[in-house]
Chains A and B, each alone.
Chain A
Amino acid sequence: MTPAPQAIPKWVIGGLATVGVVGLTALYLRSGDSDKPSSPLQPPSPGEPTPPGQSTPSASAPSSSSSSTTAALPTAADVPGVDLIANWGKTPADLRPLFALMERLSGISGSGRIFATIAKRESAFVATAHNDSEAERSASRRAYNNMKDRNPELAYGMQAAEFGSGGLFGALAPYFLWTGVPEVGDDAPLLSSPPSVMFQPRVAAFGACVYLQRLVAHYRLDDHLDIKAGWASPSLLTGDRGSKTYEAVRDRFNSDALELGVDLDDTSTIPKNSAPPAGPACRSSSPISSASSPRPRRGSSPMITCYDPELERFTDDLVGDFDYLSAADRESWFVQQWTEIAAAMGWAEALDQTLNGLRRSRMGFADLGTAALGAFQQHVDRQREGDTKLDRARVRALVLDHFATTTPRNLWRIDTSVAPLPEGACFNLAKWHARPLTAGQDAQLQAQTRSAFQSDLNVIILPHRAFLADAGPSYFADAAPEGVGIPSNGRCGWQTPLRLCLGTFPWVYGHRLQSPAPALAWKSSASHHPAHRALQLATNFWQAEGNLKQDARDVAAQWKYWRSATAGPLADIRDTALRLDKQLLRVAQGDEHTHGLNGPRGFISAAAFNYIQRRFAAFFGMRRALIRARHKLIPELRALADQSPDPCIGTRRPMLRPEVLR
């Protein structure tokens, strides 16, 4: 039996999984069969007879129809309209409705047949399969001891620790009983149940659905086979991806599917996975993409339509909704944001390692932001600024600090004269003088390059702009009039305002939305870290304090410009590999960095487009959650909301009125 997931980490609290726990509970609550337990929430007494069939399954084992659990199984009538014939291979007929119901309730398109293939290996379709070998019991003991301090108490904790694994999907007992804890905490439905509850197919199905949703929501799944790798251990989808074990698990899953007669490539029953190389696109184009969609809105109050009528749907589509007052909900949402950011910028692995470390730490995810920023810094610091441009890192960092202190309410997009900025937004580029060196100077140069670099003997200093000019018509703004209101800067020749869109860092220039993002090239010096600083500012927009400080009318105006500027290219997509789905560009073949939109303002890679869409949505998602929770926020945050000049969060919040928008 393949080991059950090594962890059901508390941080993987997918929003959809939250919905899923509630919705999927129906898997075993909705049955009206008289011999079904009255409710799994009411555990059997400790003296309850052990369910039958507790033996390791064999390939020749009959399906669950031979067990006493048959009556609890859903039937075809429970999944009207679902094809229970095509591409199910040798999946036992009495179990097909269960797998189909799992697919329907989880919202994971195509997952029914994948669940069937998993069950083939894990239990040979015997609902009461039980692996109580010493190795497996040792694994469940370890799982229990490692996680018991971080999870609610299990009524049958010791039994779970000694149980091993079992059920249709081969779950390790302690983890199985903690299913739903990340989502609903102490209300998780199996905390009071004995481990043998997993022998009930509906209960096993519930655990399997929640687990798959977590895989979908939080891990990179390149294809169907990756699902089984994650089933064996999530680490195979992160640090151990590509290992021998990873390959072996995938191979076995492929063989299982062939043996079972389930064609994983049959797109009519299991939507095709286009397997882009990495990042959010993997999830978006995964066969189970519908499950990774954001969680639905809570309540119907149109809190952000104050800024624009379309924002509510836009935000729902991209980042969903969450309850700011729920620590678990909030944590999950933050993890989602960081995961998307890291994937788009190419440091997903570093973030994964950080998250793994946090998961093991006593403090958990309390300081997720700092840890994630640290991971990013390590990533960007792999390449430091060259000697001749060391000053550039300093000036960039100074300018960013300047914005943070002088315009804290209007940071999303900066458009300002360079005159008052530190160093005039110019840095000193050091270049060797062309004049031939004397023999002595040459020796000195070879002996001590750095000190010679600092000498003015052979070095000339050329002032350069520390940022690119973004003055033309772009996806973020109209053209800036050259020279208008801009004092001539003799140092490095700025003739236009400095324009930086920090809200969409690292895509900070509206005319450079290709991949890789330009500001990922903002290298650090030993003491200045402009990229780190910029990401800190950018992520503040979806942290409570930073979000409330920002005047959302600016962001809404930016969003509207962006929507307007991209409308033409979106309406004229000629790249046959591209399609727009729920506000995101999906790439059918190839990757998000090389496919994208073309328009008169330039090329936008799909990666940049999706990232920018999500950043806007994250801002308004947080804003909505804060407005809703406003009266229960801590005093500091409430004060920020009270002081905001933004009428949409003011005491007398107006309904939609265009005049409140700039």
Chain B
Amino acid sequence: MLARYSARLAAATPEQLGALEGEVRLFIEALWTEASAEARSRFLDAVRRVGPPMPWSALRVAPGGAPAALELILGQVDPDDEGVPGYRIDPKSEQGERALEALAAWDTQKLAALATPGGWNHATELPPDAPEGAAPAPEATMQDQVAATPATSISRAEIALVAAVGWGVAALSAGCALMRRPS
């Protein structure tokens, strides 16, 4: 949902934003409730860096970065064995590494191939890499991808967000397998 909302944010008219606002607030509130105190704090810091207004500042994708709301996803309290095993990433495994690379690069195409709403799909072949030296995909391109991708793929990307980018790497490098819900 985060990827979907972020994409819609960039392309929406003020009227469309108005219609979407309640849903986005609900989304952020759901994430907020599930997040640890530390994650909430990091989220607020990230939001401040992006600037107002809320809730859009939680979704805005900065070049080379990720939406602030990702902090809430990454910082969700681990549900232990009441969670979904398929959402777990083992950072020490080859598949986990692939997932983390895709997350770190915010590569929605790879993420779409790697994950399903039911969990990570490690058996999937990744699409070919972009040519070496290619510039990071501009924001519009990513939005186009998201808009053009079927919902399943969007969901995959959403799930992919739960694992780690940037701030989440610390937790992963500590050897902790993460258990996160899709959002």
Contacts and interface: CB of A to CB of B under 8 A. Distances in A.
Interface of A: 468-469, 471-474, 479, 509, 511-512, 514-516, 518-519, 521, 523, 568, 573-577, 593-596, 598-603, 605
Given A514-B84, A575-B151, A602-B182, A472 B32 contact: yes
B181 A603 contact: yes
B33 A594 contact: no
B29 A514 contact: no
Contact of B82 (A472, A474, A521, A595): A521
A500 to B, nearest CB: 12
B116 to A, nearest CB: 5
B26 interface: yes
B150 A576 contact: yes
Report which residue of B119, B155, B158 has the largest number of chain A beta carbons within 10 angstroms of its beta carbon. Answer: B155
Contacts of A479: 29-30, 33
Chain A contact residues: helix, strand, loop or mixed: loop
A577 B151 CA distance: 10
Report which residue of B29, B31, B32, B154 has the largest number of chain A beta carbons within 10 angstroms of its beta carbon. Answer: B29
20 contacts: A469-B33, A469-B77, A472-B31, A473-B29, A511-B34, A512-B83, A518-B83, A568-B23, A574-B151, A575-B150, A576-B151, A594-B118, A594-B119, A595-B117, A595-B118, A598-B4, A598-B117, A599-B1, A602-B182, A602-B183
Contact of B152 (A474, A514, A595): A595
A511 B150 contact: no
Contacts of B79: 468, 512, 518
B24 interface: yes
A514 B151 contact: no
Contacts of B26: 473, 600-601
Nearest to B31: A472
B129 interface: no
Given A518-B82, A574-B151, 8 more contacts: A473-B29, A512-B83, A574-B150, A575-B152, A594-B118, A596-B117, A602-B182, A603-B181
A112 B34 CA distance: 53
B181 A602 contact: yes
Contacts of B33: 469, 471-473, 479, 511
A161 B43 CA distance: 77
B84 A515 contact: yes
Contacts of B118: 514-515, 593-595, 605
Interface string B59-88: 000000000000000000101011111010
Nearest to A601: B30
Report which residue of A516, A603, A605 has the largest number of chain B beta carbons within 10 angstroms of its beta carbon. Answer: A603
B23 A600 contact: yes
Interface in B1-40: 1, 4, 23-24, 26-27, 29-34
B32 A577 contact: no
Interface in B127-169: 150-152, 154-155, 158-159
A598 B79 CA distance: 20
A511 B117 contact: no
Contacts of A576: 150-152
Nearest to A474: B30
Given A594-B117, A598-B155, A472 B30 contact: yes
A492 B64 CA distance: 39
A602 B30 contact: yes
Contacts of B4: 598
A511 B84 contact: no
A511 B82 contact: no
A632 B93 CA distance: 64
A531 B176 CA distance: 28
A575 B32 CA distance: 26
Contacts of A594: 116-119
Contacts of B85: 516
A398 B170 CA distance: 39
B158 A598 contact: yes
A568 B163 CA distance: 26
A478 to B, nearest CB: 9
Nearest to B85: A516
Nearest to B87: A514
Nearest to A512: B181
B152 A577 contact: yes
A471 B77 CA distance: 13
Contacts of A512: 79, 82-83, 181
A512 B83 CA distance: 8
B155 A600 contact: no
Nearest to A574: B151
Contacts of A515: 84, 118
Contacts of A523: 81
Nearest to A594: B118
B162 to A, nearest CB: 11
A289 to B, nearest CB: 23
Given A473-B29, A512-B82, A573-B151, A598 B1 contact: yes
Contacts of B150: 574-576
Contacts of B34: 472, 511
Contacts of A575: 150-152, 155
Contact of B27 (A469, A514, A574, A600): A600
B154 A574 contact: yes
A511 B181 contact: yes
Shortest Cβ-Cβ A-B pairs, 9 listed: A574-B151, A472-B33, A594-B118, A600-B27, A518-B82, A603-B182, A521-B81, A600-B26, A472-B30
A18 B83 CA distance: 42
Contacts of B87: 514
Given A576-B150, A594-B116, A598-B117, A603 B155 contact: yes
B84 A516 contact: yes
Interface string B103-118: 0000000000000111
B143 to A, nearest CB: 16
B117 A605 contact: yes
Contacts of B27: 600-601
B44 to A, nearest CB: 16
Given A512-B79, A595-B152, A600 B117 contact: no
A602 B29 CA distance: 11
Contacts of B155: 575, 598, 603
A146 B102 CA distance: 63
Nearest to A517: B82
Nearest to B82: A518
B30 A598 contact: no
Contacts of A474: 30
A523 B82 CA distance: 10
Contacts of B119: 594
A472 B155 CA distance: 21
